[in-house]
Amino acid sequence: MDIASAYSLATLGWHLLQSVPLIAWPQVIIGLLNIDAPSPAGLPTSGVELYFARCLGLAQLTLGMVTVVLTGALPMTSMVETPADSISPYANAVILLTTLHHGAHAFYCWARYNETAQNGFVLGFAGSAALAAFGLWCVLFGGDKSRVSRRTGADKRTSGFPFGNPEKKKQRGKAL
């Protein structure tokens, strides 16, 4: 499993963890988040609140599944047609967008925690910040294929500036 697949499956897991309670038990989530206006116990939730909670849950679930499909963790073609090493052309873009999403969500949860001091926001911050850091690492380092020479073991992308490369000079001397 490559790093993009691991990130996309972790994102799907995080969105699944958040979406299932919103879809299955929106009244409980709405009751937990009703911190601004204290209401009497047993106050029924409105249809609009239920609609938006379930739509948010379905949207999060869809975002997680789209991430898995577009990063190539779930191949959409047969194995005969594509080589095993092929990476999805959309993987870097999807990882960047979901990393920005996780970063914005972490920022929002941290700001809400500072305002309300509720521990649920700290949990949301921790999960989103971890995925944002993982996504940033994937964007920076995860997509590069190694260009290490089989013969010398040196990285082929390095230059000699400002230091000389004696191995390259030896090769040039043998070729001349």
Query: Cα–Cα–Cα angle for 105, 109, 114, nearest 5°?
Result: 150
List average pLDDT for each run of 10 residues in the chain, which is 176 residues long. 86 92 79 58 70 89 90 72 64 91 95 86 92 91 65 64 70 67
* pTM higher than 0.75: no
pLDDT digits over 90-110, tens only?
888 899 999 999 999 999 999
- Residue 48 burial (CB count, 10 A): 8
pLDDT on residue 169: 72
Judged on CB neighbours under 10 Å (0-12, 13-18, 19+), 31 is middle
At 154, list the tokens: 């040196």
